[in-house]
Chains A and B, each alone.
Chain A
């Protein structure tokens, strides 16, 4: 069973700061997912990646397959980025999830 660890568990930052959330996993995978969940809300897929780097607006995700590690970066953070960010790794029987990083961006 793949073990997925995220850090930090909680992060509070000021508006405009550069944010980094880390994810490591124990077993080789076909794809890694970054998800976003707003308080009381549903889960939205931000990225799915199997190698290299992807960028969408102010969000950047990178993965290092050899080191079994991925990072999610947010540039020029904004209060609307406040949410729980969840890393998940894909397998034949669905996704295995980290416990999430609770991000708060203060104005």
Chain B
């Protein structure tokens, strides 16, 4: 069965370190997204991609970057982790804007 997986599921890192969260989907979807979920804010868009070599900034992109070298993967990098980036991160994919979205299980990141 097709799926979308995130790794790691839990990560603790120190302030200032570079961190990369992985997202891998086997749906062959062109659209992929990264969101963060925080109490009181709900889910907010960090970055998204419509296909290979395409990346776009979302609502809360500062301090984050993504790259899309193939259809299956959209890694999210925190260039220099900050305590404000402690959150739960979700990756999602969909075929197009009129189709169902599928979510990974989430990565809980703690920056100390």
Contact = CB atoms under 8 A, between A and B. Distances in A.
Interface of A: 30-31, 33, 35, 41-45, 48, 50, 86, 88, 90-100
A31 B98 contact: yes
By CB atoms of chain A within 10 A, which of B45, B48, B92, B101 has the most? Answer: B101
B42 A94 contact: no
B48 A93 contact: yes
A45 B101 contact: yes
B102 interface: yes
Contacts of A98: 42
A55 B98 CA distance: 19
B100 A48 contact: yes
A94 B33 contact: yes
A41 B48 contact: no
9 contacts: A31-B98, A42-B105, A48-B99, A50-B98, A86-B42, A86-B43, A93-B45, A95-B33, A99-B42
B33 A100 contact: no
B98 A30 contact: yes
B100 A97 contact: no
Interface string B80-108: 00000000001010000111111111100
Interface of B: 31, 33, 35, 40-45, 48, 56, 58, 90, 92, 97-106
By CB atoms of chain A within 10 A, which of B40, B43, B103, B104 has the most? Answer: B43
Closest CB pairs A-B (n = 9): A42-B105, A43-B103, A99-B42, A97-B43, A94-B33, A97-B42, A48-B100, A45-B100, A94-B45
Given A30-B97, A48-B101, A92-B97, 12 more contacts: A35-B103, A41-B105, A42-B105, A43-B103, A43-B106, A91-B97, A93-B48, A94-B45, A95-B45, A96-B45, A99-B40, A100-B42
B103 A95 contact: no
Given A43-B90, A99-B41, A90 B48 contact: no
